[in-house]
Amino acid sequence: MVELGETAVQSALKTKWLGRAYRYFAETASTNDLLKEQSAAALPAGALFLTDFQSRGRGRLNRRWLAPAGSSLLLSILFRPNWPPAQAQWLTMLTSLAAAEAVEAATGLTVGVKWPNDLVIQQAGVWHKFSGLLLEGEMGEDGRLHQAVMGIGVNVNISPTALPDAVTPATSLLAAVGRPVDRLALLVDFLQRLETGYETAVSGQSPHPAWKKRQMMLGQRVQVTQLDTEQRIVGLAEDTDDWGRLLVRDEAGRLHAVAAGDVTLR
């Protein structure tokens, strides 16, 4: 039986609807692209595509995301939230929280969020990235988010010697805890937590307070490059607002609400 094959996952799932429409691929170019291509064919909300190897995996800003075959969790989930555009960031918050909580339960590590969509842990006093998220949505004619594909990659059992070089140092759960982590158990727990979090959000409860508590950049000097204008802001990361924007006060005292950008510690 394939470790994350359809039989193994379907028999282990504890969710009601999330992941019940499940497809496993030994290899594909991108689970996000594949799910977007097929989502028009009446796939239900909660449909999940997972692969053991992505040849063209990517994160935000089209950055490559590569992981050795069979080492990680590489998956995409279809949501149909019918939310206003500003609420789309809730999906990133929910997924970040579910993944962070599942990893902490499996490993005992403490997980932080690097705004807007990376999961990090500290090793030797330095923040290391082990997971990234990519949200791609489609707005309807009414301007609401009718469909969204959430992709997530988690470095689970990548050996330290196989980790890539990156601006934010990379790590894996194996490298952090010194032992392999059960990918199937981690996936099942993550999906159950995500389903619960999503249903809570649908009922009107924002995930922002819990997500904000995990932000490791708040109170730090940062440099933010805004995606829409390429403007660079250097200042203090003071807060995040209800919709997930990073609030940065620059050296002249002006407060900027950044919806999308690339941020580094100064």
What's the DSSP call for residue 235? Answer: E
The whole-number average pLDDT for the span 208-217 is: 96
- For 67-71, 77-81, 156-160, which range has the lowest pLDDT when averaged over its residues? 67-71
Domain spanning 6-213: CATH 3.40.50.150: no
Residue 264 has a CB neighbour count (10 Å cut-off) of 12
What is the structure's pLDDT at 229? 72
| Contact criterion met (CB below 8 Å) for 174 and 180 | yes
For 246, list phi and psi in degrees, rounded to 5: -85, 125
- DSSP single-letter state for residue 62: G
Judged by DSSP in three states, 152 sits in strand
Q: Do the beta carbons of residue 145 and residue 87 sit within 8 Å?
A: yes
> Where exactly does CATH 2.30.30.100 map onto the chain?
221-265
Pick from 209, 211, 189, 191: nearest CA to 199: 191
Nearest to 215 by CA among 140, 113, 146: 113
**Gap between the Cα atoms of 137 and 117, Å rounded:** 15
Residue 61: the pLDDT is 46
CA distance 222 to 234: 6
- The least confident of 27-36, 61-70, 166-175 is 61-70
Answer whether 0.95 is exceeded by the pTM. no
The DSSP output letter for 239 is E
Distances (CA, A) of 22 to 17, 29, 152, 176, 197: 10, 17, 15, 30, 20
pLDDT tens per residue across span 107-129: 999 999 999 899 999 999 999 99
Give the other-Cβ count within 10 Å of 141's Cβ.
6
Which residues are paired to 25 by β-bridges? Answer: 51
CATH 3.30.930.10 in the chain, residue ranges: 6-213
Query: What average pLDDT does the segment 14-27 reach?
Result: 97
More confident residue, 137 or 108: 108
* Fold classification of 221-265 (topology level): SH3 type barrels. (2.30.30)
Q: What is the DSSP letter of 121?
A: E
- Confidence at 58, pLDDT banded by 50, 70, 90: low
CA distance 147 to 139: 7
